[in-house]
């Protein structure tokens, strides 16, 4: 028979200690459930598909020493040098590296000469082989061909007449789903740019951007006079990236030693881009672990203290007919009642805290299943923490009732 009423009476007369544990549990639940939402959100974010072959792409960035550098010829020579290297799948030039944390963005419209109502997208000026070099999936339309390529510098307007866009961007600008073959326009521009292809996905340069995934690719080579630089993206066979990396550096330096070459990998960029998220996940996981450990310790401590205080009482209960199981059940139930009160309070606190975080920091909303899961886990932790002292209490001899000490 469950002794709820006597336990409530006993707790009412020892309410400060019970209240402290309940409040600690409530606070723990409020923190743990909101931290879990943040962790889950960050995990979801870092696990998003990038749409590109992250692990197989090498990036090359170079700046020639000479200001009178024939960039167009150099690019053609470099790419001719890179492509035959064993393990290389494709190579291309690009004005920016996806996932690198840098890039350019502009607003695009589905009508000419607009200033508002468009959609902002990361834009890239890329070689004809960009789709293959990134390992992207073309889901509609056609790829670029070499005749599409325009050479541009920073002083002149781009004159591309074709563009490949991501599916996300296409759906935003053309919600009817009929973007292929339609025209987009730059800010206040009447120059039509035809969407010739749609790729499944590309997160673009900034993973933390709210519009990450809006990306457009123009078949252009940007030659910035006075600030000459060029970027290549080299995709390798799976597992060949590191060996190609070493050869690439050597061959490019040999072909033209009068330039500064920096090389990296898209995988490395991705790690850097998500480093804050990953750190947040680790820190919050440690916080959750520590809080759970502390609450478990608190419960073990309090239950042990109460049991030691009530040794004689336990002996009396045993003498009056309580079985070992009844004593163990009593303390588990007592703990369960405190935990339940704390958890009920904690659920309300978690909701209030979450509302504030949503409004003030744009954090995700706390879903009910997440909160209930955290509550259940804390209840299990509480009962498990109380189990060892409760078992010790169950082993107190009924003869304790007749002892004077």
Partner 1 sequence: MLKMHNIRKSFRTDTIETHALRDFNLEVSEGEFVSVTGPSGSGKTTFLNIAGLLETPTGGQYLLDGQDVSGLNDRERSRLRNEKIGFIFQGFNLIPDLNLFDNIDVPLRYRGFNAKERKKRIEKSLEQVGLAARAKHLPAQLSGGQQQRVAIARALAGEPRFLLADEPTGNLDSLMARQVMELLEFINEWGTTIVMVTHDPDLARRAHRNIQIVDGQVSDLHQNALGNEAATA
Euclidean distance between CA atoms 124 and 164, whole angstroms = 10
Position 253 contacts partner 1 (CB under 8 A)? no
Question: Hey, what are 344's tokens?
Answer: 């009920």
Position 16 contacts partner 1 (CB under 8 A)? no
Position 401 contacts partner 1 (CB under 8 A)? yes
222 CB contacts (<8 Å, ≥6 apart)?
A: 95, 125, 152, 153, 154
Stretch that binds partner 1, among 80-88, 283-291, 308-316, 344-352 (CB under 8 A): 308-316
- Parallel, antiparallel, or unpaired: how do β-strands 104-108 and 259-265 relate? unpaired
Position 14 contacts partner 1 (CB under 8 A)? yes
Position 393 contacts partner 1 (CB under 8 A)? no
Give min distance, CB of 385 to partner 1, in A: 22
Query: H or E segment at 150?
Result: strand 150-152
In terms of CB distance, is 1 or 47 closer to partner 1?
Answer: 1
Give min distance, CB of 17 to partner 1, in A: 12
Position 323 contacts partner 1 (CB under 8 A)? yes
Question: Hey, what are 308's tokens?
Answer: 């030691």
Position 307 contacts partner 1 (CB under 8 A)? no
Stretch that binds partner 1, among 33-41, 148-156, 316-324, 370-378 (CB under 8 A): 316-324
Stretch that binds partner 1, among 59-67, 170-178, 200-208, 392-400 (CB under 8 A): 392-400
156 CB contacts (<8 Å, ≥6 apart)?
A: none
Give min distance, CB of 344 to partner 1, in A: 23
Out of 3, 171, 194, 264, which residue is the one contacting partner 1 (CB under 8 A)?
A: 3
DSSP 202-255: ---S-TTSTTTT-EEEEEEEE--TTS--EEEEEEE-TT-HHHHHHHHHHHHHHH
Out of 312, 351, 377, 392, which residue is the one contacting partner 1 (CB under 8 A)?
A: 312
356 CB contacts (<8 Å, ≥6 apart)?
A: none
Position 73 contacts partner 1 (CB under 8 A)? no
Out of 313, 340, 351, 363, which residue is the one contacting partner 1 (CB under 8 A)?
A: 313
The HSE-up count of residue 96 (CA atoms within 13 Å, CB side) is: 20
Position 402 contacts partner 1 (CB under 8 A)? yes
Query: H or E segment at 108?
Result: strand 104-108
- Parallel, antiparallel, or unpaired: how do β-strands 183-184 and 193-199 relate? antiparallel
Cα–Cα distance list, 51 to 8, 164, 215 (Å): 58, 14, 11
Position 398 contacts partner 1 (CB under 8 A)? yes
What is the layout of strands, in order, in the sheet containing 259-265? 88-93, 230-236, 57-64, 259-265
In terms of CB distance, is 18 or 195 closer to partner 1?
Answer: 18
In terms of CB distance, is 5 or 258 closer to partner 1?
Answer: 5
Out of 100, 318, 350, 374, which residue is the one contacting partner 1 (CB under 8 A)?
A: 318
In terms of CB distance, is 63 or 309 closer to partner 1?
Answer: 309
By the criterion CB under 8 A, which residues form the site for partner 1?
Answer: 1, 3, 5-6, 9-10, 13-14, 312-313, 316-326, 397-399, 401-402, 404
């Amino acid at each position: 028979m469950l002794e709820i009423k006597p336990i409530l009476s006993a707790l009412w007369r020892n309410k400060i200690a019970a209240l402290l544990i309940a409040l600690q549990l409530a606070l723990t639940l409020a923190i743990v459930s909101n931290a879990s939402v943040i962790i889950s959100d960050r995990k979801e974010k870092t696990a998003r598909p990038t749409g590109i072959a992250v692990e197989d792409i090498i990036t090359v960035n170079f700046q020639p020493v000479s200001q009178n550098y024939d960039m167009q010829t150099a690019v053609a020579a470099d790419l001719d040098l890179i492509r035959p290297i064993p393990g290389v799948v494709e190579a291309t030039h690009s004005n920016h590296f996806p996932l690198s944390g840098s890039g350019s963005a502009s607003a695009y419209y589905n009508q000419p000469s607009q200033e508002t109502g468009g959609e902002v997208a990361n834009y890239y000026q890329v070689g004809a082989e960009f789709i293959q070099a990134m390992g992207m999936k073309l889901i509609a339309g056609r790829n670029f061909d070499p005749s599409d390529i325009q050479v541009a510098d920073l002083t002149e307007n781009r004159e591309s007449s074709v563009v490949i866009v991501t599916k996300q961007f296409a759906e935003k600008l053309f919600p009817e789903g009929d973007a292929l073959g339609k025209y987009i326009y730059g800010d206040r521009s009447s120059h039509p740019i035809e969407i010739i292809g749609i790729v499944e996905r590309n997160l673009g340069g900034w993973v933390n951007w709210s519009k990450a995934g809006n990306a457009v690719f123009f078949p252009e080579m940007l030659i910035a006079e006075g600030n000459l630089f060029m970027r290549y993206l080299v995709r390798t066979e799976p597992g060949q990236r590191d060996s190609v990396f070493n050869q690439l550096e050597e061959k490019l330096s040999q072909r033209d030693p009068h330039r500064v070459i920096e090389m990296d990998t898209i995988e490395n960029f991705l790690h850097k881009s998500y480093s804050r998220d990953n750190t947040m996940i680790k820190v919050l996981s440690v916080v959750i672990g520590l809080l759970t450990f502390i609450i478990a310790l608190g419960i073990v401590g309090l239950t042990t203290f109460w049991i030691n205080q009530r040794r004689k009482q336990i002996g009396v209960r045993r003498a009056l007919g309580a079985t070992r199981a009844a004593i163990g059940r009593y303390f588990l139930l007592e703990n369960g009642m405190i935990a339940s009160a704390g958890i009920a309070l904690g659920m309300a606190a978690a909701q209030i805290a979450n509302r504030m975080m949503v409004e003030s920091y744009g954090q995700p909303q706390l879903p009910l299943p997440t909160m209930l899961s955290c509550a259940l886990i804390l209840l299990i932790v509480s009962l498990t923490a109380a189990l060892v002292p409760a078992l010790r209490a169950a082993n107190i001899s009924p003869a304790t009732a007749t002892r004077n000490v």
